[in-house]
Chains A and B, each alone.
Chain A
Amino acid sequence: MNEFTLPLAEETVRSLRVEDHVALSGTIITARDLAHKYLVSNDIPELTPWLKDAVIYHCGPIVKKVGSKYQIIAAGPTTSMREEPYMADLIRKYRLKGIIGKGGMGAGTLKAAQKYGCAYFQATGGVAAITAQVVREVKAVYMLEEFGVPEAIWVLRVEKFPLLVTMDVCGQSLHHIIKKRSESKRNKLLFG
């Protein structure tokens, strides 16, 4: 497993290939449906420096407030495909270097990822307890009041977040490969 510290350098992103196991350390930013929709046409000035060249995480965590601090209790990935209408725009706008999520994304994201140098990392879905352990610190939160806990934009410091590269800058997608393979099987099962 290759370990990388964030922010990711462009040449690092361009060296990653589908089925590489990696561990990422550094700052990542959660964003779900409301955040994507909002950020495509709005800016949050204090958040912009965090987002530049960042890795974003499709995740709606469970968060506990301890005094004035926040603690992440559970934080697995959510289905990325819902963000497909916005993803390419956000990659271009903030020059995102990576997306963490599950289930993969579509052709628009893959094209933008190729063009701007961005990789897609799949986290194991549903393993929220061990994933919360890699979150070492909540550095900031934005839109908590407006969006609620799961949809708020959480700025997290993670240590050795284990991930699988499933979309790379060469335009390869493990999700497409598996779908193609299962398609021929499906056709055989349905049409004999």
Chain B
Amino acid sequence: MLGKIVELIRLTATELSPDILSALKAARSREASYGAAQSIYDRILANADLAKEESIPLCQDTGIPIFRVNLPEHESAQNVHNILKKAVKKATKLNYLRPNAVDTLTGKNSGNGVGIGIPQVEITRWNKDYSEIGLMLKGGGSENVGAQFSLPDEDINANRDLDGVKNCVIEAVYQAQGKACPPYFIGVGIGGDRAGSMKLAKEQFWRKLKHSHPQLRDLEEDLLVKLNQLGIGPMGVGGSTTVLSVKADYLARLPASYFVSVAFTCWAFRARFLTIRRGEYTYE
């Protein structure tokens, strides 16, 4: 089991999934030949090839490992948690991960990739007979530009409605500029309390499909068009693609509150799944 999790980490850190690769290739084709934007995509794609071939992390910032685990009733959660921690240590030793856990009080890097709250592990029980382990490696640069708004917000002309939500997302991407390695993937959480709203925003990155609610689907599609009008482009050098996808969802809220949270990931979107069914391991 330990080896299988280390393999999940290796795969996530070193190979972009096919849908991300094709999104990047499509973005390349929308830029002028031989321009700065296109040359960035050329390096991104060459890097993806080399990283895969040599099993080298795509990016030196292997981020915070976020495990999202679904277990059948009979599996021990404690056992899984321990194995995930051990796997992070081993993957760090093997250089699939950078030692990325710093003690916030002492400033000391633990050196083994594990610290208080790192890796993040969320374990849920489900009534299926197999286990699923999702892993996302979320870089620090993109985490830093995440933003939260409390509506109404006069400075950005945002009232408590979906137009106001859109203005929050536009402002967050405008503020981020090229700092967090665009083109970005954007997650939006609407409503809830402060913590729930940001959690929801980050959870959007696990969702592949468009939202089933027509109002939210429209919001996602409209924002994608509007955000790309900002012209920030790959690595902020200017270009026609600043954002590759927008995913949004909502929670109920208190009458007094209306939060909008915006989460970012860089172009090096690294998420993979491992399914364990009757002793058989499948990676996706």
| Residues in A lying within 8 Å of B, measured CB to CB | 19, 21, 34, 59-64, 73-76, 78-79, 81, 102-104, 122, 124-133, 147-151, 162, 164, 166, 174-175, 177-179, 181-183, 185-186, 189-191
- Bound-state CA distance A51–B157 (Å) is 48
Segment at the interface with A among B186-194, B204-212, B229-237:
B229-237
- Bound-state CA distance A129–B15 (Å) is 11
Q: Chain A contacts of B98 at CB under 8 A?
A: 60-62, 74, 149-150
- Bound-state CA distance A133–B99 (Å) is 21
Indicate if B44 sits at the interface (CB-CB under 8 A): yes
Q: Chain B contacts of A75 at CB under 8 A?
A: 60
Given A128-B56, A186-B174, are A78 and B229 also a contact pair (CB < 8 Å)? no
The reply to whether A34 and B237 form a contact with Cβ atoms under 8 Å apart is no
| Interface class of chain B by DSSP | loop
Minimum C-beta distance from A41 to chain B (A): 16
Minimum C-beta distance from A16 to chain B (A): 15
| Interface mask (B86-109 → A, CB under 8 Å = 1, otherwise 0) | 000000000100111010000111
Given A62-B95, A103-B177, A103-B178, are A73 and B235 also a contact pair (CB < 8 Å)? no
- Bound-state CA distance A49–B40 (Å) is 34
| Interface mask (B219-247 → A, CB under 8 Å = 1, otherwise 0) | 00000001001111101111000000000
Minimum C-beta distance from A70 to chain B (A): 12
Q: Chain B contacts of A164 at CB under 8 A?
A: 36, 237
Number of interface residues of B (CB under 8 A): 53
The reply to whether B46 and A151 form a contact with Cβ atoms under 8 Å apart is no
- Total A-B pairs, Cβ < 8 A: 160
Minimum C-beta distance from A36 to chain B (A): 14
- Bound-state CA distance A162–B51 (Å) is 18
Residue in A34, A126, A174 whose CB lies within 8 Å of B58: A126
- Bound-state CA distance A89–B15 (Å) is 40
Residue of A nearest to B267 (CB): A126
The reply to whether B59 and A126 form a contact with Cβ atoms under 8 Å apart is yes
Q: Chain B contacts of A133 at CB under 8 A?
A: 50
Residue in A76, A122, A177, A191 whose CB lies within 8 Å of B60: A76
Q: List 24 A–B pairs whose Cβ atoms lie within 8 Å, in order of A's numbering.
A: A19-B36, A21-B36, A60-B98, A73-B95, A76-B61, A102-B178, A103-B180, A125-B235, A126-B59, A126-B181, A128-B60, A129-B50, A129-B51, A148-B102, A148-B108, A150-B100, A164-B36, A164-B237, A178-B177, A178-B233, A182-B174, A183-B174, A185-B230, A185-B231
Indicate if B120 sits at the interface (CB-CB under 8 A): no
| Interface mask (B119-143 → A, CB under 8 Å = 1, otherwise 0) | 0000000000000000000010100
